[in-house]
Homo-oligomer: A and B are copies of this chain.
């Protein structure tokens, strides 16, 4: 059975939880609180020198980090990742978009708003995060006009990855009502079999 080192309130960790639930694949969850130093202990750094969760551990001890790499590995050969090379390329395109143009703004704004004190210096970053995050949501909204899911006609791990921090973007001050195609897509993701909610 695989083990997942993760923090349940983290969207990046939730991606892995959601996919494992949808795959109905048994797993052991090792709650690891990155907000309180648990990814910076010598024991954890020996497993992932980059000091981040989620981290997947196979039963033979092999380790894999990076949420979207974990999703690709677990979904390979299942309906959640198409076999066609062009569709797979587009899945990766949206997953790299998520990690470069979306998560650093939308997830970081959520982190600052939910977990840092009101007088914290990083709140000065919020206007820039709001601007860049809105750009990402606008790109998504335009792409989803007339489409059911991000790639092809089926739900895939591209949707899983983008759902994780989009559905809770309001936590970081984003108004999702401005993105109707995104809102309709969020509802379609939430209607997937064996969907589970983010714990927060």
Chain B residue contacts of A89, Cβ below 8 A: 64, 69-70, 72-73
Closest to A62 in B: B86
- The interface centre, meaning the residue of A50, A67, A139 with most chain B CB atoms within 10 A of its CB, is A50
Stretch from A22-30, A93-101, A112-120, A184-192 contacting the other chain: A93-101
A31 at the interface (CB under 8 A from B): no
A contact residues, range: 20 to 34
Chain B residue contacts of A100, Cβ below 8 A: 66, 99-100, 103-104
Assembly CA distance A70 to B92 (angstroms): 9
A196 at the interface (CB under 8 A from B): no
Query: In terms of DSSP, what is the predominant structure of the interface of chain A?
Result: helix
Chain B residue contacts of A86, Cβ below 8 A: 62, 73
Contact B101 A104 (CB under 8 A): no
Contact A66 B92 (CB under 8 A): yes
The answer, among B64, B99, B138, for a CB contact under 8 Å with A99, is: B99
A61 at the interface (CB under 8 A from B): no
Contact A85 B92 (CB under 8 A): no
What is the distance, in angstroms, from A27's C-beta to the closest C-beta of chain B? 16
Contact A92 B72 (CB under 8 A): yes
A10 at the interface (CB under 8 A from B): no
A68 at the interface (CB under 8 A from B): yes
Binary per-residue interface labels of chain A (100-139) against chain B in the complex, 1 for a CB within 8 Å, 0 otherwise: 1101100000000000000000000000000000000011
Contact A69 B49 (CB under 8 A): no
Chain B residue contacts of A50, Cβ below 8 A: 97, 101, 139
With A72-B89, A73-B89, A104-B104 known to touch, is A97 a contact of B139 (CB < 8 Å)?
no
Task: Name 21 interchain pairs, CB-CB below 8 A, sorted by A.
Answer: A49-B143, A50-B139, A52-B101, A62-B86, A65-B97, A66-B92, A66-B93, A66-B100, A68-B92, A69-B92, A69-B93, A69-B96, A70-B89, A72-B88, A72-B92, A73-B86, A92-B92, A96-B96, A100-B100, A100-B104, A104-B104
